Amino acid sequence: MLKEYDLSLIKGMTAKKLERLNLMGLTTVQELIDYYPYRYENYQLIDLKLAQHGEKVTVEGELHGTPYLRYLGSKRNMLTAQIIVDNRMINLVWFNRGFLKKQLAPGRLILVTGKWDKGRDQITVAESSFLDTTTIIKKGNIMPIYSVPADFYLIDLQKIMRKALDQYATEINEYLPAEILSKYRLPSLRDAVLSIHFPVDEDSHKQARRRLIYDELLQYQLRLQIHKKRIREEYGGNAKPLARDKIAELVRSLPYNLTADQESVIEEIFIDLERQEAMNRLLQGDVGSGKTIVAIITLYANYLAGFQGAFMVPTEILANQHKESLDTILEPLGVKIRLLTSSVPAAEQNEIISRLESGETDIIIGTHSLFQERVQYKNLGLVIIDEQHRFGVEQRAELRRKGSNGSPDVLYMSATPIPRTLAITAYGEMDVSSIRHSPAGRKPIKTSLIRADQFSKALDFTQQELVKGKQAYIICPLIEESEKLDVQNATELSETVRAELPQYRIGLMHGRLPTEEKERIIEDFRTNQLQVLVSTTVIEVGVNIRNVTVMIIYDANRFGLAQLHQLRGRVGRGDDQSYCILVANPTTDIAKERLQVMLDTDDGFEIAKRDLELRGAGDLLGVRQSGLPDFKLADVIRDYRTLETALKDATEWVSDKRLWNDAEYIRILEYLKQLDTDLTGS
């Protein structure tokens, strides 16, 4: 196993070089050969007759004549010389390399790389070396370029890598089955490793990358699928008999028809509920796509099967809103629903907890209060966690442990959709369902972009909506460096709005207000006691006030695309036409492009895709919260086809019990164990 060989065992290794490598985080041969080049320099010789004008070329030739040095100023110079290449005289030009003049002796062989000027038969030299003194032969090779610290020479790392591969390449053993190598036409692992460092040509490098990218994605997906398999086996679960007739009656009683996406997702969830293994599913859907009714139907199915349900949300506002929705739909059917939040009086909390433990309560809705140690359930069969990213891993796990008969089924919900490639990577241990389309009949929100000096026009338009009895949000961004500045900005903006709209009541909310005050302001806005709400904080995802038809986002360029889309989704909840006005003075091309995305589409999945292309996966999800592995070569967006192939292969291998006794597939697991000592066989 290469991970067991210390770098000191490489022939010719010195203490100084070993120290440099260790400071780079490289201590074993495995870590060294996994340190891939970030680019390459091609020193393969080219026939100048075939070279294109402006192309980078490498040639070798014999120096001819006397070099000439010309000074272009106090600190600049130009050195010219000639070489004979294939009986052809070629001019060479170096800039600011005057010190080379004495070394350019006629008859000496030289290797030069640079830009070819076809009209002048001239190469502007970027790099040159004398073939009689070169310590590492570049001629004819594609050389790896590694990232090295300032006190470590690239040529030293190239030499060490070459020696390590010469010494240990025979111990790079294949672990993939022959059928897979043949099916995908992949090179062996040994050939791929050799070619990723020292490719003989462009094709061998391309095939090496293809193989190693598949390896990275396959190994990651195998870990996830094995983990998913263990979760199901460890937690067990309860197979729930579903009263589909009664559920169908509920669906028919709704004042609207479910979308095809909702019906499809509900069926996926029902299949999970009927299995013995515990459900571990993420439901992602765009703002206003109808995730809440899916949650309600799932809770009802769980109730009919004889189990309690818990619905956890990040804020009391959302908890109250969901309580109203569940009461409207499920309470007439005899379902006992209670609300548990920190603002519920202590005596009432005790009574709620008692009824929950005795089984008198069927569904409990609340915030983090639901996973307090003193909260016990009689027969918890389903946990739904809304805006799951707002809760920590341990908080989610605590609620899951409340299940009395095995583990409860868990449904996570997110209103921040991400592309499938990210979902199956960041949330690979979960099954992922998506609602892509909103219910029919909902009017698209009209979005516009104006400059900051046109803000008064936005307020004039807002007044036209207020005259109709409608309401408006005005959001200004968080400036993380200064909470005081946030408040000042919000206060100044609210004063501007009050001056422009003196006949209306304007609310102000910012991060320094107590929670109770924020709750009161939101409630006043919900009941139309406030007509306009100016806020420094993002209006909570899921807050559903149907009377609001205007969303103004001030300094919109300070928000991410996902944030802008979530904010826009706070309007358009009712039957009236709604509007989103972006106020910004974008100064960079990427800022303009991001805002243009908001004007082009209202599809959250498409916006997430464009955001991903503009910002990258780590920035989109939040680097610390992304859950994405640190791939060396693979990119989940560029390599999405390979990712889906790796997921398919890993899922089949882990789920097919016949393969666990197959010698070739056992070898895969053994290889994974070598890479990760914490991984034990399933």
**Which pLDDT score, from 0 to 100, does residue 664 have?**
61
Q: What are phi and psi of 124, to 5 degrees?
A: -85, 110
**Rounded Cα gap, residues 398 and 375, in angstroms:** 11
Query: How far, CA to CA in Å, does 362 sit from each of 239, 356, 370?
Result: 18, 8, 14
The shares of helix, strand and coil residues in the chain, as percent rounded to the nearest 5, are 45, 20, 35
Q: For residue 633, give the nearest of 218, 212, 223 by alpha carbon.
A: 212
Least confident of 392-406, 506-520, 547-561: 392-406
pLDDT band at 682 (very low <50, low <70, confident <90, very high): very low
Average of pLDDT values for 383-396? 64
**Which pLDDT score, from 0 to 100, does residue 247 have?**
96
Q: Is the pLDDT of residue 430 over 60?
A: yes
Domains 44-140 and 244-435 share a fold: no
Residues in CB range of 374: below 8 A, 6 or more apart: 353
| Residue 385: CB atoms within 10 Å | 25
**Which pLDDT score, from 0 to 100, does residue 294 have?**
96
Half-sphere exposure at residue 77, Cβ-oriented, CA atoms within 13 angstroms: 14
| DSSP code at position 442 | P
Average of pLDDT values for 563-580? 87
Q: For residue 472, give the nearest of 558, 563, 570, 564 by alpha carbon.
A: 570
2-17 pLDDT tens trace: 778 899 999 999 999 9
**Rounded Cα gap, residues 222 and 654, in angstroms:** 7
Average of pLDDT values for 669-680? 53
**Which pLDDT score, from 0 to 100, does residue 30 have?**
92
Which ranges of 169-201 does DSSP label H, i.e. alpha helix?
Answer: 178-184, 189-197
The three-state DSSP-derived secondary structure of 345-373 is CHHHHHHHHHHHHHCCCCEEEECHHHHCC
Return the structure tokens found at 321. 């809103």
**Which pLDDT score, from 0 to 100, does residue 310 have?**
92
Least confident of 118-122, 457-461, 528-532, 656-660: 656-660
314-336 pLDDT tens trace: 888 888 889 999 999 999 999 99
pLDDT band at 638 (very low <50, low <70, confident <90, very high): confident
Average of pLDDT values for 231-259? 86
Position with higher pLDDT, 231 vs 566 = 566
Position with higher pLDDT, 192 vs 151 = 192
Q: Is the pLDDT of residue 135 over 50?
A: no
**Which pLDDT score, from 0 to 100, does residue 540 have?**
56
pLDDT, averaged across the chain: 84
Domain ranges of the chain: 44-140, 176-220+639-682, 244-435, 446-601
Greatest extent of the chain over all pairs of C-alpha atoms, in Å? 102
**Rounded Cα gap, residues 304 and 298, in angstroms:** 10
Given a contact cutoff of 8 angstroms between Cβ atoms, the answer to whether 251 and 243 are in contact is no
pLDDT band at 503 (very low <50, low <70, confident <90, very high): very high
**Which pLDDT score, from 0 to 100, does residue 624 have?**
38
Show the beta-strand stretches assigned E in 301-401.
Answer: 308-312, 337-340, 363-366, 380-386
CATH code given to domain 44-140: 2.40.50.1010
**Rounded Cα gap, residues 415 and 387, in angstroms:** 7
Q: Is 576 helix (H, G, I), strand (E, B) or coil?
A: coil
Least confident of 202-211, 426-435, 499-508: 426-435
Given a contact cutoff of 8 angstroms between Cβ atoms, the answer to whether 311 and 381 are in contact is no
Taking each continuous run of H as one helix and of E as one strand, the counts in the chain are 22, 20
604-615 and 589-600 helices, crossing angle to 10° = 170
pLDDT band at 558 (very low <50, low <70, confident <90, very high): confident
- Specify the pairing of strand 77-85 against strand 409-414: unpaired
Least confident of 129-133, 232-236, 257-261, 491-495: 232-236
Burial grade of 170 (CB within 10 A; 0-12, 13-18, 19 or more): exposed
Q: What are phi and psi of 176, to 5 degrees?
A: -80, 145
Position with higher pLDDT, 196 vs 640 = 196
Average of pLDDT values for 251-258? 92
Long-range Cβ pairs for the range 294-298 (8 Å, 24+): 294/262, 294/265, 294/266, 294/269, 294/435, 295/322, 295/384, 295/386, 295/411, 295/413, 296/325, 296/326, 296/329, 296/330, 297/247, 297/250, 297/251, 297/266, 298/266, 298/269, 298/273, 298/382, 298/384, 298/411
**Which pLDDT score, from 0 to 100, does residue 194 have?**
96
Query: How far, CA to CA in Å, does 263 sit from each of 245, 439, 443?
Result: 15, 12, 22
Q: What are phi and psi of 413, to 5 degrees?
A: -125, 140
pLDDT band at 588 (very low <50, low <70, confident <90, very high): confident
What order do you get walking across the sheet with 431-435 strand by strand?
Answer: 337-340, 363-366, 308-312, 380-386, 409-414, 280-285, 431-435
If phi > 0 it is left, if psi is from -120 to 50 it is alpha, else beta; for residue 542 that is left
Domain 446-601 fold is Rossmann fold (3.40.50)
Q: Looking at the domain covering 244-435, what would its CATH class be?
A: alpha beta
C-alpha dihedral, 416 to 419 to 424 to 427, nearest 10°: -20
What order do you get walking across the sheet with 471-475 strand by strand?
Answer: 446-450, 579-583, 548-554, 471-475, 532-535, 506-509
- Specify the pairing of strand 471-475 against strand 280-285: unpaired
Percent of all residues in the chain with a pLDDT value above 90, rounded to a whole number:
46
Q: For residue 307, give the nearest of 348, 265, 273 by alpha carbon.
A: 273
**Which pLDDT score, from 0 to 100, does residue 238 have?**
79
